[in-house]
Chain A
């Protein structure tokens, strides 16, 4: 079974630009979650989608948004990028909780 796939693996953007990250979950997984990982803040929960509906949301500004498609694939968008948005963005999929999360290898975003 293919794992969670995140594209692209690396991104370099300039302040003020916007970016879209993509995540393809494991087949059959309907829950997709997004996390931001930075050395200083650790793993921060962004949001979770289940069957195209946002089920949970973390404490991030409105510049961070996401969506899930009918095939469970998910995208997250960050608008008006700031230097502090530089991070590893991780996507995870799962069966209905409390099944474990299965993570992709992340997208490394660098904002200059």
Chain B
């Protein structure tokens, strides 16, 4: 079955440190992969997407993600975390419709 997985329910990082939120996929063919962020009582906001081309994708708010076909991963990264990055992050792929991971709560501590 096609799916995306976010192995970590929660990630804790200190402000100023690099952050990584993990996502792995199990999709046949070429996947369309996305990252979204959700702040409390809000809808999801689009951060970035991988369709084809460069494996390193840059997105909003300084986030980037690396598509790794051999490891079937699409981890979200940021070089220097901010307290305001604390939120719920979702990885998703699109194949006729969108499939979302279970979400990872990111806590950035001052």
Contact = CB atoms under 8 A, between A and B. Distances in A.
Interface of A: 4, 6, 33, 35, 42-43, 45, 48, 56, 90, 92, 97-98, 100-106, 108
Overall SS of chain B's interface: strand
Contacts of A4: 43
A35 B101 CA distance: 13
A106 B38 CA distance: 11
Contacts of B32: 97-98
A43 B97 CA distance: 13
A98 B51 contact: yes
Contacts, number: 50
A48 B97 contact: yes
12 contacts: A35-B100, A43-B90, A45-B99, A48-B97, A90-B44, A97-B96, A100-B34, A100-B46, A103-B43, A105-B41, A106-B42, A106-B43
Interface residues of B, number: 21
A45 B103 CA distance: 15
A33 B43 contact: no
Interface of B: 32, 34, 36, 41-46, 49, 51, 90, 94, 96-103
A105 B98 contact: no
A5 B44 CA distance: 13
A42 B102 contact: yes
A4 B44 CA distance: 11
